[in-house]
Every structure is written in C-alpha cells, then in structure tokens.
Structure 1
C-alpha cells in the first residue's frame, strides 16, 4: 500500500516462490506481494490520498481559502509521491515529513481533516503495531482539535466522525492483512503442487527409462549374450576338433552369428524405425500405408508439429499393426488412415469396411490380438488413449489420441 514495500520477492530453487519479507506494521502481511487484487487496493489508497488532498486544496484555488496552503500542499503531494517511487525500506524520515506537512496544513485549514483517512493506513502499514495505533490516535486527536476551532465549537458529531473513521481504517487494515495472508498461503500451496507435479513427472519418466533398460537387458541376456557364449564355445571346440568337425563347428558359428545379427537388428528397429530415419511422420505413414495395403487411402489433417520419438514410433507401429490385420483378416473393400494434428494432441484413425469382430470376444476367426493389446499399453504409457470399435459385418475403426503439449515437446527436445 505504501512506499515501504520491499523489492520483488525472490525465487526459491525449483518452481516455488519464497514469501516476501513484510514490514512490521499492522498491515505487515499486506504491504507486499504480487496479488493483483491487493496491488489494486494499494493503488486505490494512493489515489484516495491525492483525491482528498485535491479536494482540500480546491477552496484555495478558487480563492475561498488562504492561498498560503497551496505551496505547502504542493510540497506534501511531491513528498508523498517521492516516497511511493523510492519504496524506502526505512520510512521514518519520510513518514515524519508527510505527517508534519499535513499537520501544518491542518493548522492552516481544518478542511485538510479528510486527508487523515489515507494517512491512517499509512501509519498502520509503515509503523510497528506498538506505534501504529498511538499514531492513529494522535492523528485523530489532531483532527478533533481542528474541528473544535470551527464555528459552533466542538460537538459530539465532530468527535464521533474522526473516531469512527480511525476505527474503520484499523478494521479495514486488519481485514486487508488477513486477505493478503490467505492469498499468499494459497499461492505457496499452488507453487508446491506445481513443483510436486513436476517432480512426480520426472520420477515417472525415470521409472520408464529404468523399465525399458531392464527389458532390453533381459532380452539381450536371453538372446545376444547366449548366442555369443555359444559362439565362444563352438570356436574353442573347433580348435581341438578334426578337419570335418571343425568345418561343422564353423558352419554352426556362422548360423549362430547370423541369428544374433538378426536379433541386434530387431533391437535397433524397435528403438529407431528405419521408416522414420529419412522422413517425417506423415510421409512415413503414407509410405507404410502404400506398402502394407496399396488400396488404402492416407489423409493428413492439420499442420504437422514436432513430436517425441516415442510418440512417432508408437503411431508408426500402430499403423503397421492395424493395416496388417486389415490385409490378413478384414477382407475389406476400402480402408483409410487419417493422421490429424489438433490443438494439443495428435490423433490416428485406421478404418476398414471389412468383416469386423466383437472386441470383447476377440476376432471371429479365433486369432489372438496381442498386437493391439501391446499397442494399447504403449499408447497409455505415453499418456494417450486407444479406442477399438468394431462389430461383426460392420468393419473396424481404431482411434489413437496422444498429447502434444509442453511435456511432449520437452521430450522431443
């Protein structure tokens, strides 16, 4: 509310913000912060000070009051504005100057009694509680004394008015402070929730990486490592075997090495599909569609945007699996693949007008749909959804939806 507000609040490690150090007055909890509504209240009080000061100076400008108040009023306005701009950390001298100038004006013209109301808030904010209330009481007494010099002398109304104004100011100040404290608590809670959400997302990504590492470790151990061990044993046996036996061992080594090479290539293809190495996702899907099911149509909607590798691989594998099922089982006359970039998400639809099946009971020919089950889990791990709609004789529609928000773009980077 006043120029005593400290500088902008510092930022803590991570996303949370440290609560600003408030001044020590009755409005200590409300003198700072970046809450828009509270900042608006402070601006309104500053505006009230200048408005009441202008109203008190108006009679002098119109010639109906002593002109001597004009220069003193101008100095008071300048001093108050200088304090607002400087935002002094120790406002003692500034507050004494503003109060002294106001008392001079009040002695010259009791019309400046109204300026006391915004000054009440200034005292409550800038001074410690043990000094703020006495300062408000002293200012109220000064106003009552000034009103006592009016024609008719001191009346009950001229006493009750300033006292009531002081009480309203004190109650408003404490309500303002409570509002600020509640707003700060809510903001800190939101910051903690955001930080916790980010930490949880990071932990989930790390868990996903560890799970994938363990999966690859198991597969490498069960395939490549076992094959290489067999090659080592066969090579040692060939060293001590006769000519014919050694040739047989060498042939066995060649077959084992070929099998392990095929496994290694399979691992590489699963991590980085060749179709995505030299083409963006829409072109890769177009090629896969034409190669897997030449009669199928491919359509692109929206403006393509960068996607994480995991998302592109999942959409490519889903297209391959769905089109392979159409080619092998659907007996469809028409099929279509639609890739759509929407606001915050990307969707992939694969439709055919084939024989269809009952999703809850498996295909009509009794085949087991491990491919779609695996893709459903893969899409879910990326935060998306996979929906399969089908019925006997009514074709099949597969729809996948994946997010493309900030988290997805961060993963792509």
Structure 2
C-alpha cells in the first residue's frame, strides 16, 4: 500500500473510532468566550472558627468557591484582593495552569511559600470548583478520574502544649472513638518556639489516653515540630514500644538533617511536609529529610494545581501523601478531589471536627459525609459541596 493511501485509510479509521466515543459532558453548552468576572477574598472569624474563603464569579453568573489556610487571614485576604484578583479577572477560568504560574511568579518576591501559596490556593481551588460547575462534572473527573471514592480518616484533638487538662484530653479522644474514628492523633502543639519543653506532656498524655481507647483504635502523636532530633528519637522510641503506628512532624522543617536522623533511628513511619508549600520544597524534603510519608496541606500549598505536582514529585520517590487537613468543608472537599484521583495520595486523610467550625458549616447545604470512619468523596459537581449563597452573603457580607 502506498504511504498516502495508508495515511488516508488510517485517518478514516481514526475518524470512525472517535465518532463512536461519547462527547464531553456539556462541552457544547460552555460559552467559548466565558471569562472571570470577579475574584473576592472574604474573611470571617468567630472564635476558633475563622478562615479565608474565595468567591470567583464567571461572566455567565456561575460561582466557584475556594478556601485558604486560616493563618494570617487579613494578610491572605489582602494578597488575594490586591494582587491576585487583578491578574485573574478577565481571564478564562479554564486556564488554571497559566493563571497559577502567573500568580506565583509575579508575586514570588513575597516568598515562595506561606502567605503567598495560602492565597493562591484559595483562588486556585475556587477556579477548579468553577470549572467543574461549568462543565457539569466533579473536579476529580478533570484530573484523572476516580481511583477511590472513600478514604480512612484520622481525627485530631488538641493539647495546646499541655494546657488542656488530661481528663479533658481523654474525653476528647474517647468521644472521637465513639463517633467511629479508628485512627486518632494527639496534636501536642508544642511548637518550635518551645522546643524540647521541660514539662513535656506527650508521654504522660499518650500513655493515659492509650489506656482509655480500645485496641482497635490507633493513636499517634504530632509534636508540631516541637523536638530537636535527639529528643524526637527519645520520645519516638518510647512510643514505638507502645505500638504507635505513625509519628508526625517531630522536628522543625527548617532542619531537615535533624529530621533524617529521626527517620533513620526509628522503625515506625515518620510524616512531614505540612510546611513544604511547593513541589521544589517537597523534593528537598524528600532528598534531605527522608520522611516515609508526606503530609501536604493542599490549601496551604497552592491549591489543586500545585497539589497535583507535589503528588507526582512524591510519586517519583515512591512516597505516599497523607494530607494535612484542618478545615472541615471546602478545604476538605478540595482535598478529597485529589485523593479520589491520585494513586499515591490517600492511605489516610486528616479531619478536624466540624463542631469547631459551626459558623462556616452553616452556609453549606450539606457537609462532608462519613461512613465507618472513612471520609466520603462529595458527589456534586466542582469540589462537590453546595454553598447556600443567601446564607453566605448574610455571613460574609459581600
């Protein structure tokens, strides 16, 4: 057969093949000239319940919602409204990759992580929510499909560095176990500025709480980067002997070499990475700190667009992602979309009790659902949850 005839025949065959494939959902219904009409960062604070939500509206009136980390809420809001919004308004909501690069590199002098990536995350997640709604599909369909639709959740409770009385800490743990959570985390909240405290509560609290929980419930510790290497090893070996399964963020992120000594000294998996906000920071963490598991927080780390890259970098080194996740609504919804689609993301996921966030939860028609201790993938389009615009406007005042 002549080359030209072969190509013609092949083209006809390929055309026939595509003729039999279903069209993309709603592809013909999406205006090609649709643009981003407005971007607004909104803060709210009601005691512990505080945060930054991002509302993105398209020119056809469709709205997407995202959430940023709650640290430095006024600074994050300022970056969103004064720096990011002018760069995004007037652009196509489908150009999330280009918009992410633009938001990051045009503002990187603010620092390549922290406040900037918090702000970008809120806008980016809102854009993905908007894209999914415009196309009539959930976000996981746009980033790889559904690898899983439920993930075992672990619930954390706070010690405030030991300020929470032991009976109260035990009560918190037992309550969570009774709700069906099979994995619990002590958030010791020692912090870097109180490193290696003289009156370290962790061993005392862990031992007492462990005795009050059934054997079927795993309990692990997060010192919140409150130890140097030698102290982290000392505590880790003791808890290792008590059957602890995971050890989260034992050392400051600023000393990855110290973290590596802890990883080498223990047999239990060590998690780190909550404060590594980009793919480059995560790669350095893996190469130098050598944690067994990466606990990226996607609403701190640039949102879904950068979160996917972080997952793929971790995958290059055969590392699993167990997301840090302390927001019960839109932050959890964005996290679950990535968990649904990415294979090395999701042997577990963190969850913070919605009871602590009653104000923000009140603007949603329905929250994240659980079954047998697992967090379930939201079923709606976009990020999957539905914000009641009337209640949101009353709360946020936009």
Q: Which structure: greater helix fraction?
A: 1
When you count strand as a share of all residues, which structure comes out higher?
2
TM-score bracket relative to the smaller structure: under 0.3
Q: Normalized against structure 2, the TM-score is what?
A: 0.21
TM-score (norm 1): 0.20
Higher RCO, Cα 8 Å, sep 6+: 2
